[in-house]
Amino acid sequence: MSAASETPHALKPLLIAGEWIAAPGQAFESINPATGQTNFLISAASEAHVDQAVESAWNAVRQPAWRDMLPHKRAALLRAIADGMDRHADTLARLQMIENGKVQAECRAQVASASATFRYYAGVCETLTAEVTPPRGDYLSMTQYEPYGVVAAITPWNSPMTMEAQKVAPALAAGNAVILKPSEVTSSPALELGRIALEAGLPPGILNVVTGLGATAGKRLVEHPGVRMVSFTGGTASGRAIARAAADKLMPVALELGGKSPHIVFADAAQDAAIDAVIGGIFEGSGQSCVAGSRLYVQRGIAQAFIEQLVARAGRLKVGLPDAAGAQMGPIASFAHRDKIEGMVGTALEDGGEILLGGRRPDSDALRAGAFYLPTILGRLDGNARVVREEIFGPVLCVLPFDDEEDLVAQANDSAYGLAAGIWTADYRRAWRVARRLEAGSVWINTYKQLSIATPFGGFKQSGIGREKGLSGLRLYQQSKGIYWGL
């Protein structure tokens, strides 16, 4: 049944071995953060359900029909999934919108991006080659790439459609079976993706979707001896726990974790364009993005004028219901997370900070029932403040001045994180120097949050391990094998 035709409070089942399995005993609610109302009840997978999913995945991946499938035929399946996502784009966008509160336009754009990801990896699957390596004797040597077998994909709540496509598509293209465990906040898009994959002809058991809590279903999935690799996007604390479990199993992991990205504006920057980028970089998606430009460094000579214009423009952002015409910011994805953001802003005041904009919930009666929070800009802080050092994952921007390149690089790199950074300057030599010195996996110059499925993505330091996207994003889900032919 399509999610669009379901009634509120309907129980959404798990997808295991191509069958829909209801688990009402430990069901939990999906809450619309814009209204506080219940969307659906979600089945919570038990450890036994996870065991069943792993068994079904191994049964499916060992079948000759999948194991020996030629690359162009596997690519055709990925394209068929993309076609299905395009047909059901409205449903997918709506499910994401009512579960995490992103505005409708962004949800639609992310569904289109997810569909394009499946098409990209269909192309990679069909054209990627192995290598014949230079021999050092009387033999022919070559490298072959093999799937791990069964991999787990654990995805976050902030951008479920793009994150699920970014993991599932390359893992399938690499020849694996996948067990997808979405965040309990945004379970429905993953279930809909599973339904679309079955409709497209993906063999049962090759994609299983187990919804539930991280402490039960997620923990069992990571620790299960039948899971050979885990790809996780989420918080750094959870990433550490997964890494510890993986170490015990000697299992490879890909971890895309938190960020506290510096967004840098030099005095010679195109200031109007920089202001627009700073606003988009932190307030798009209500700041709930791993690459959000949450630390703004402005060269001291232009800082006062730049910040005044920034505050004025950001103050005109329209905060509203996600499907309201012209809405630019929706609610925070959950009420608990909004409470956390409010608490962090409180610590900024304790640390001597000043609220330049926002710092509160909106006054509108129409938004009172939702988890809304206004775009917030904080000033008069130094690098020791908690809000400067810790990931808030919300629409909160910390503004700090800098004097010169040395001062800037020292401040920008003074962080446990290293996911992304942005630089605005008219001097290309300076841009190159600073970009090379910044400890970040992605650096944008005179732009921000430009993302391409063709370009590897990941973090330095505590922002993660491994690289997703691009050709390496498929190899992430394979292991290399050397084969020697005696001559």
Per-block mean pLDDT, blocks of 10 residues, the chain (487 long):
51 97 92 97 97 98 96 98 98 98 97 98 95 95 97 97 98 98 97 98 98 95 98 96 97 97 98 98 97 98 98 98 97 97 97 97 96 98 96 98 97 98 98 98 97 96 96 96 96
CA distance 313 to 272: 10
DSSP conformational letter for 215:
I
* Residue 435 lies in domain: 262-445
457 alpha-carbon distance from chain centroid:
11
In a domain, 53, yes or no: yes
Are 106 and 18 within one domain? Answer: yes
Residue 174 · residue 478 · CB < 8 Å: yes
In a domain, 453, yes or no: no
* Contacts of 124 by beta carbon, 8 Å cutoff, 6+ apart: 170, 173, 471, 474
What is the chain's length? 487
CA distance 55 to 144: 26
Joined together, the tokens standing for residue 226 give 């039948």
Are 386 and 416 within one domain? Answer: yes
Going 225 to 227 to 230 to 236, the CA torsion angle's sign is: negative
What does pTM read for this prediction?
0.96
Q: Residue 88: helix, strand or coil by DSSP?
A: coil
Are 275 and 413 within one domain? Answer: yes
* 74-89 core/surface letters (b: 16 or more CB in 10 A; e: else): bbbbbbbbbbbbbebb
Q: What is the CATH number of the domain that holds 44?
A: 3.40.605.10
pLDDT at 5: 41
Are 340 and 434 within one domain? Answer: yes
Number of structural domains found in the chain: 2
In a domain, 132, yes or no: yes
- The amino acid at residue 296 is L
* 194-206 core/surface letters (b: 16 or more CB in 10 A; e: else): bbbbbebebbbbb
Look up tokens 């590897």; give the residue. 456
Are 159 and 55 within one domain? Answer: yes
280 alpha-carbon distance from chain centroid:
17
Burial bucket for residue 145 (CB in 10 Å: 0-12, 13-18, 19+): middle
Going 16 to 17 to 21 to 23, the CA torsion angle's sign is: negative
In a domain, 86, yes or no: yes
Could you tell me whether strands 376-379 and 396-402 are parallel, antiparallel, or unpaired per DSSP bridges?
Answer: parallel
DSSP secondary structure, 389-441, as one string:
HS---SSEEEEEEE-SHHHHHHHHT-SSEESEEEEE-S-HHHHHHHHHHS--S
pLDDT at 7: 55
Are 313 and 210 within one domain? Answer: no
pLDDT at 1: 36
Are 319 and 277 within one domain? Answer: yes
Rounded alpha-carbon distances, angstroms, from residue 463 to 440, 460, 473: 9, 6, 17
Residue 422 · residue 261 · CB < 8 Å: yes
- The amino acid at residue 370 is G
SS3 content of the chain, % helix, strand, coil (to 5): 45, 20, 35
Please list the active-site residues. 256
Structure confidence by residue, pLDDT tens digits, 440-452: 999 999 999 999 9
Are 244 and 301 within one domain? Answer: no
Q: Residue 362: helix, strand or coil by DSSP?
A: coil
In a domain, 42, yes or no: yes
Structure confidence by residue, pLDDT tens digits, 401-437: 999 999 999 999 999 999 999 999 999 999 999 999 9
In a domain, 354, yes or no: yes
Are 78 and 57 within one domain? Answer: yes
Are 417 and 477 within one domain? Answer: no
Closest Cα partner for 392 from 413, 375, 410, 406? 375
pLDDT at 450: 94
Q: What is the CATH number of the domain that holds 374?
A: 3.40.309.10
* 37-47 core/surface letters (b: 16 or more CB in 10 A; e: else): eebbbbbbbbe
DSSP conformational letter for 217:
I
Are 148 and 271 within one domain? Answer: no
In a domain, 119, yes or no: yes
Look up tokens 């409709």; give the residue. 199
CA distance 297 to 411: 9
Rounded alpha-carbon distances, angstroms, from residue 25 to 13, 82, 188, 453: 12, 34, 18, 39
Are 253 and 326 within one domain? Answer: no
Closest Cα partner for 118 from 77, 69, 177, 63? 77
In a domain, 312, yes or no: yes
Closest Cα partner for 98 from 157, 44, 45? 157
CA distance 93 to 99: 10
